[in-house]
Amino acid sequence: MERRLTEERITRCILKWLVERGWQVISYDYPQSGTGFSLHSKDRELGSKNTGSIIPDIVASKAGMVLFFENKVDFNIIDIEALMLLKNSGLYDISIHELLKSIGPIEGIFYGIALKNNKKNKDKLCRNEDFLDFALLVDDDLSVYKFLDRGVLIKDEDV
């Protein structure tokens, strides 16, 4: 029986895929679960607990490398903008440091996305790949592909 690929199934698939490759999951969040680590902007207004907060779908580490994931069925530029805020604005540095303080020395932090593997998502990734450090695509059968420059896909490639 084939099940529809949802954001939760993509997240579960990527979690399994990462663990199988030796990544330690630091934090994860399923849609509307409230289980993830909420990163707060240092310029949020006092008294507004969640204003400007970003909850990455997955944060994982391995050998000093850290991956921040947003996972979706369909590409949405809003997810790319959230990752760019985390990466470039400096507004979330304190909160990111708090999340990562227990993992030891950090060699690099990378920001990317996991999406359903289809032509529409691949086309949009090709147009926006300069804004991401990595992208993974998931098939209906839960196969994982690494998305490379100009839309080249490699199945089961280690990140």
Structure tokens at 28: 């994860």
Which domain covers residue 123, as residue numbers?
A: 7-42+50-154
pLDDT bin (cut points 50, 70, 90) of residue 159 is: very low
What's the pTM value of the predicted model, to 2 decimals? 0.89
Give per-residue pLDDT as tens, 26-85: 999 987 777 788 898 887 554 455 567 899 999 999 999 999 999 999 999 999 999 999
Q: Decide if 159 is inside a domain.
A: no
Report the CATH number at residue 76.
3.40.91
* Domain total in the chain: 1
Q: Decide if 95 is inside a domain.
A: yes
Q: Decide if 87 is inside a domain.
A: yes
Residues 6+ apart with CB under 8 A from 63: 107
Contact by Cβ (8 Å): 119, 110: no
Q: Decide if 36 is inside a domain.
A: yes
Q: Decide if 76 is inside a domain.
A: yes
Q: Decide if 25 is inside a domain.
A: yes
If residue 28 lies in a helix (H) or strand (E), which one and from where to where? strand 24-28
Q: Decide if 100 is inside a domain.
A: yes
Q: What CA–CA distances, in Å, run from 139 to 2, 3, 63?
A: 12, 12, 28
Give per-residue pLDDT as tens, 82-136: 999 999 999 999 999 999 999 989 999 999 999 999 999 999 999 998 999 999 9
Neighbours of 117 (CB within 10 A): 19
Q: Decide if 149 is inside a domain.
A: yes
